[in-house]
Chains A and B, each alone.
Chain A
Amino acid sequence: QQQVKQSPQSLIVQKGGISIINCAYENTAFDYFPWYQQFPGKGPALLIAIRPDVSEKKEGRFTISFNKSAKQFSLHIMDSQPGDSATYFCAASIKTGANNLFFGTGTRLTVIP
């Protein structure tokens, strides 16, 4: 059973455009929502993360939007660049108890020049 559902599976965006990746969850005990970025041949790397006490977090061109009532969160990449081409994973975890991340299935982003 997939704890975190992610869409789309793949995404093609023109350089300068906005990339949007969406995730949804069911477990209301989740209270930490990171996004990981993975380049070919590398392991996933933490990109940005949010806790449910805020609705938005921005770091440079990357923004997480969080909707607690809908149990959804999304990653927005503004002014997308070819160097952003990678696979993006959303994830969720519970702060207390087991230190365990539940990953989404990933979105392969391609930014074309």
Chain B
Amino acid sequence: DAGVIQSPRHEVTEMGQEVTLRCKPISGHNSLFWYRQTMMRGLELLIYFNNNVPIDDSGMPEDRFSAKMPNASFSTLKIQPSEPRDSAVYFCASSLTSTTGSYTFGSGTRLTVV
């Protein structure tokens, strides 16, 4: 298995533009998580899905952020419009619900909003 695949690895965009981050979880995993990592706040859970259904989106900072999981093998995190304070590394992780706490993380997308 190739692990959790995220794209792009790096994204530089101008303030106000729409940004879409993509994630392919490990085949067979039924939970998917989006995290944001910054020096100031560490790892923050933004949203997570169980069997493609959003379970908890309380970590989504504001309405500019949205996430979808149209099927078991794909998820997107969209920021529209983007702002400089959104600059961070965004991680996607997946797991089996039956193995709570054992997550496999992707390599992340480093987002820079200028």
Contact = CB atoms under 8 A, between A and B. Distances in A.
Interface string B75-106: 00000000000000001010101001111111
B34 interface: no
Interface string A60-94: 00000000000000000000000000000101111
B106 A43 contact: yes
B100 A99 contact: yes
Given A34-B102, A49-B102, A89-B43, A99 B97 contact: yes
A93 B108 contact: no
Size class of B's contact patch?
Answer: 20 to 34
B45 A43 contact: no
A33 B103 CA distance: 12
A36 B97 CA distance: 18
A46 B102 contact: yes
Interface in B11-58: 31, 42-43, 45, 48, 50, 55-56
4 closest cross-chain pairs (CB), A and B: A43-B105, A93-B101, A32-B101, A105-B42
Interface of A: 32-34, 36, 41-46, 49, 89, 91-96, 98-101, 103-106
Interface of B: 4, 31, 42-43, 45, 48, 50, 55-56, 91, 93, 95, 97, 100-108
